[in-house]
Amino acid sequence: MTLQSFLILLPSIVSGGILTHLIWPDKEFKSILFKLFLGIGIGLGVNSLLVFIYLLIFDRQPGLFVVQILIMVLLVSMLIIRGRPCRFTPIAFKIPGRTQMVFLALAGVMLILGLIVYTNVSLRKPQGAWDSWMIYNRTARFIYRGGDHWRDAFSPEMYWFFHADYPPMVALNVASGWDALGQETVRVPMLIGGAFLLASAGIMFAAVNAYKTLGQASLALLVLFSVSDFIGSGATQVADVPIAFFMLGTGILIFLYSFKVQRGLLVLAGLSAGLAAWTKNEGIVFVLVSLIGLGVAYRKELKQIFPWYVVGLALPVAILVYFKIVLAPPGDLFVDLPSQVGQITDLNRHFEILKQMRLDLMALLNWTLLIIYAFILGVDRSRFHFSAFLACLIIILLQLVGYYSILLISPHHVLWHLSALYRLLLQIAPLIVFLYFSVVKPPETVFQRK
Amino acid sequence: MQQIKKVIPYLKIGSICLLVAYSFWSVVGQVSQAKQLVNTDGAFFAEWEKRFDPIKESLPFEYGVIGYAADWDIPGKSYDPANTEAEHILTQYTLTPIVVSRDTNHEWILANMTATDFDTWFALQKGKFEVTKYKYNLYLIHRIK
C-alpha cells in the first residue's frame, strides 16, 4: 500500500517539477537540483487547487486522477516542445573536493537518521497527531466519504474546535490520494507529510548549495534536522511542515532572484507564498508580510518586482478568497473584535506571551551555539545581497509580530492558546536557518589552503 | 597577537565540529524519543469505530447533521473539559461524513453520558422522543414531530 500511495502522488509531484521548470527555465545543474525538490511541494500545492476546482465543477464524479495524469502529460509535452530539458550546462557541475565530500557524507548520514525518526514516528502514530484527525484527516474523510455532500466538511454546524475554516490544502491532497486508490489508508497522509519534509530539506540543501557552497549546504541540512520536533511534526500529518516549506520556498526564491534576476523566480515566490496561505491561516499573514518585506527591501525596483510576484500569488489567493467567502464557516479568532482589541492594554497578557515566546524560541534552536559559531566563522560579504537579506529578515520579524498580535487579541484563554505557539515558530524555523547560513562564512573557508 | 592568530583556525575547526556534533546529538535524541512512542493508535481507533458502528447503522441517513449532548449540557455538572472535548472530536472523526453538532436542536441527537446524567439531561428536554440505548453510555435520540 505504501508503494501504491507513493505512485498516486507521483503525477502531482512530476507536474510540480515541470511547472517549476517551465516558469523558471534555468538550466544550471544547481538550479535543476533545487527545482526537483521545489517541485514536490509546489506540485502538491497546485494539485490541491486543481482538486478544489474539480470538486466545485464536477462534485465527486470520477475522473480526477485521469485529469491529473492528463495535466502531467500536457506539461511533459510543453517541456519537450519548449526545448531539450536535459541540456543543462555540465560546466556548472563541479566534483566536490575532499573536505566537501566529508560534509556531504555527514549530510547523507543525517538524512538517514531523519528517515529513521520519520519512519518510527509514522509507524507508531499512524493516525498522526491530535490536529491531524481533528482537522486535516477529518476534512479529508468528509471529502472522500461525503460524495456530493463534500461541502459538509466546512459546515457552520461544525464546532469551532474542528477549525472547518482552515484552508484545505493538506486535506484535498489526502482525499485525492484516497480517491485514486479507492480506499482510505493512513499511508497517504503519512507520505504527504514525508514528501513535504523531504522537499523542505531538499530546497534548503540545494539553495544553500546554489547560493553558497556544498559544505554550507550540508551544515544547513544538519541544523534544520536538529530543530526540535521538525521531523516529528512532518511525520504526524499536520500542516506545519507544509506551510514551513512554502515559507522557506518563498524566502529562498526571493534570495535567488537577488543574484539571478530572473522574473520566473518572483512568479514562483508569489506562488509559494500564495500556497502558504492556502495551507493554513498563518499563511494569510505570511502573504501580507511578504508583500511588506518585498516593498521595503526592493523599494527602488517595485515596478519590476511586484507585478511578477502578484502573478504568482493570484491563483492560490483567488481560490482562497472564494473558499473563505463561499464555503468556510466563520473562524474562532475574530468573534468580538472591539473587546478583543481592548486586550492590548492587558499587561499580564503581554507578559505571558513574551515569557512563552522566549521559552519556545530558545527550545527551537541552540542559539548560543549558533551565535558563537557565527562570531568565530564570521560574516561572508562575498555574496551578500542586502535587499534579499532585508526582505527575509523583515518577513521573519513581521511574521513573529503577526503571531504575537493574534495571541494578544485572541478570544481564547491566553495560556490555552499559547500551547500552539511552538508550532507557529516551527513554521518559520527553516527560513531562519536558511537566512543564518546565507550570512555566515561557509566551512570551506576554514579548510582552504592559503 | 600572533599567538591568537595561530589559535583562530583551530577555534574555527572546533566550532564546526561542535555544530556538527550538536546537530547529530539532537537528532539521535529524536531517534530514541521516537522509539519510545507506543503504538496505541491502531487498537484505539479500531475500538472507537466499533463503538459507533451500531449508531451508524441505526441512523436513517448517510449525510446530514445530528446533535451531540455530553456532560457540558448537564446543568451544574463538573466535568473534565479536555476528556469531554476529546470524545466529541473522536465521535466526529468516526461518524464523518455526518456532522456531529453541539447544537442539540436536531431531529437526531447522540448523547454520550452516564445513565444517571442521561436521566437528568433527558428530563430537561421538551417534546416527544424515541430513545435507544447502546453500549459505552451512548444514547441515540429521535425527536418525533
pLDDT, tens digit, 9 for 90 and up, residues A127-163: 999 899 999 999 999 999 999 999 999 999 999 999 9
The 10 Å Cβ neighbour count of residue B141 is: 21
Where would I find the H helices in A280-420?
282-297, 302-322, 337-341, 347-364, 367-377, 386-409, 414-418
Sheet holding B128-134, edge to edge: B98-101, B64-69, B108-112, B138-144, B128-134
Please tell me the predicted confidence (pLDDT) of residue B97: 95
A106 touches chain B (CB under 8 A): yes
Please tell me the predicted confidence (pLDDT) of residue A96: 81
Across the interface, whether the CB atoms of B16 and A137 are under 8 A apart is answered no
Residue ranges of chain B with pLDDT lower than 70? 40
Q: Quick one: which of A304, A284, A253 has its CA closest to A295?
A: A304
Please tell me the predicted confidence (pLDDT) of residue A92: 58
Please tell me the predicted confidence (pLDDT) of residue A2: 82
The set of cell numbers assigned to A56 is 466545485
Q: What are phi and psi of A272, to 5 degrees?
A: -65, -40
pLDDT band at A449 (very low <50, low <70, confident <90, very high): low
Candidates A149, A197, A236, A371: best to mutate against B (most CBs of B within 10 A) is A149
Q: What is the average per-residue pLDDT within A213-233?
A: 96
Give residue-wise pLDDT tens across range A375-386: 999 998 887 789
A-chain residue closest to B67, CA distance: A157
Please tell me the predicted confidence (pLDDT) of residue B38: 72
Instruction: Please classify residue A211 by burial: count the beta carbons closer than 10 Å to its beta carbon, then call 0-12 exposed, 13-18 middle and 19+ buried.
Output: buried
A329 touches chain B (CB under 8 A): no
For residue A423, pLDDT over 60 is answered with yes
Please tell me the predicted confidence (pLDDT) of residue A93: 63
Of A125, A133, A159, the CB nearest to B93: A133
B137 touches chain A (CB under 8 A): no
Of B13, B15, B41, the CB nearest to A127: B41
Q: What is the ipTM of this complex?
A: 0.92
Q: How far is A28 from chain B, CA to nearest CA, in Å?
A: 29
Please tell me the predicted confidence (pLDDT) of residue B124: 92
Cβ-Cβ contacts under 8 Å between A and B: the total is 129
**A121/A188 Cα distance (integer angstroms):** 15
Across the interface, whether the CB atoms of A159 and B28 are under 8 A apart is answered no
Where would I find the H helices in A125-239?
130-131, 137-145, 169-181, 187-211, 214-226, 230-235
B-chain residue closest to A364, CA distance: B26
Across the interface, whether the CB atoms of B34 and A120 are under 8 A apart is answered yes
Candidates B6, B15, B32, B48: best to mutate against A (most CBs of A within 10 A) is B15
Across the interface, whether the CB atoms of B89 and A125 are under 8 A apart is answered no
Please tell me the predicted confidence (pLDDT) of residue A447: 84
Start-to-end C-alpha separation, chain A: 55
For residue A41, pLDDT over 60 is answered with yes
Share of chain A above pLDDT 90, in %: 85
List C-alpha distances in Å: A379 to A14, A42, A50, A444.
38, 32, 44, 13
Contact A428/A246 with Cβ under 8 angstroms?
no
The set of cell numbers assigned to B14 is 572546533
Candidates B18, B26, B39, B95: best to mutate against A (most CBs of A within 10 A) is B26
pLDDT band at A38 (very low <50, low <70, confident <90, very high): very high
Of A147, A157, A376, the CB nearest to B65: A157
Please tell me the predicted confidence (pLDDT) of residue A385: 85
Helix %, strand %, coil % for chain B, to 5? 55, 20, 25
The 10 Å Cβ neighbour count of residue B94 is: 21
**A193/A201 Cα distance (integer angstroms):** 13
| B96 chain-A contacts, CB cut-off 8 A | 138, 141-142, 145-146
- What mean pLDDT value characterizes chain A? 93
The enclosing H or E element of B67 equals: strand B64-69
**A9/A178 Cα distance (integer angstroms):** 10
Partners of B111 in the β-ladder = B69, B139
**A320/A183 Cα distance (integer angstroms):** 28
Of B63, B90, B101, the CB nearest to A149: B63
Partners of B98 in the β-ladder = B64
Give residue-wise pLDDT tens across range A319-336: 999 999 999 999 989 888
AA identity, residue B120: T
A120 touches chain B (CB under 8 A): yes
Give residue-wise pLDDT tens across range A172-186: 999 999 999 999 999
Please tell me the predicted confidence (pLDDT) of residue A88: 52
The set of cell numbers assigned to A80 is 519537450
B58 touches chain A (CB under 8 A): no
